[in-house]
Amino acid sequence: MPRIDRRWLCGPLLLSAALVAHAAVPTALPASVEQAPPVAGAQTPQAAWAAMTPQLKRELRARYAAWQALPEAERQRIAQAAAALAAMPAAQRDALQTHFQAMDQMHRDGWLLGPRLGALYAKLQPLLGYLPAEQREPMLALLHQLDAAQLEQLSLISQRTPPQERVALREQLLALAPTQRAAWLQQNVAR
Dihedral angle computed from the Cα positions of residues 45, 50, 53 and 54, in that order, rounded to the nearest 10 degrees? 110
Is residue 13 over pLDDT 90? Answer: no
Q: What is the 3-state secondary structure (H, E, C) of 36-86?
A: CCCCCCCCCHHHHHHHCCHHHHHHHHHHHHHHHHCCHHHHHHHHHHHHHHH
One domain for residues 81 and 17: yes
In this structure, is residue 53 part of a structural domain? yes
In this structure, is residue 112 part of a structural domain? no
In this structure, is residue 157 part of a structural domain? yes
**Among 104, 131, 149, where does a domain finish?**
104
One domain for residues 18 and 96: yes
> What pLDDT is attached to residue 123?
93
pLDDT digits (tens, 9 = 90+) for 76-121: 999 999 999 999 999 999 999 999 999 998 888 888 899 999 999 9
Long-range contacts of 177-184 (CB under 8 A, 24+ apart): 178/145, 181/142, 181/145, 181/146, 181/150, 182/150
One domain for residues 70 and 161: no
One domain for residues 136 and 172: yes
pLDDT digits (tens, 9 = 90+) for 16-64: 444 444 333 333 333 433 444 554 556 899 999 999 999 999 999 988 9
> What pLDDT is attached to residue 85?
92
When pLDDT is cut at 50, 70 and 90, the band that residue 155 belongs to is: very high
Structural contact between residues 126 and 133, judged by C-beta atoms closer than 8 angstroms: no
One domain for residues 76 and 50: yes
**Among 54, 80, 104, where does a domain finish?**
104
In this structure, is residue 114 part of a structural domain? no
In this structure, is residue 64 part of a structural domain? yes
**Among 104, 137, 162, where does a domain finish?**
104
> What pLDDT is attached to residue 106?
86
Is residue 6 over pLDDT 70? Answer: no
How many domains does the chain fold into?
Answer: 2
pLDDT averaged over every residue in the chain: 81
> What pLDDT is attached to residue 32?
38
Tell me which residue range forms the domain holding 13.
1-104
One domain for residues 93 and 161: no
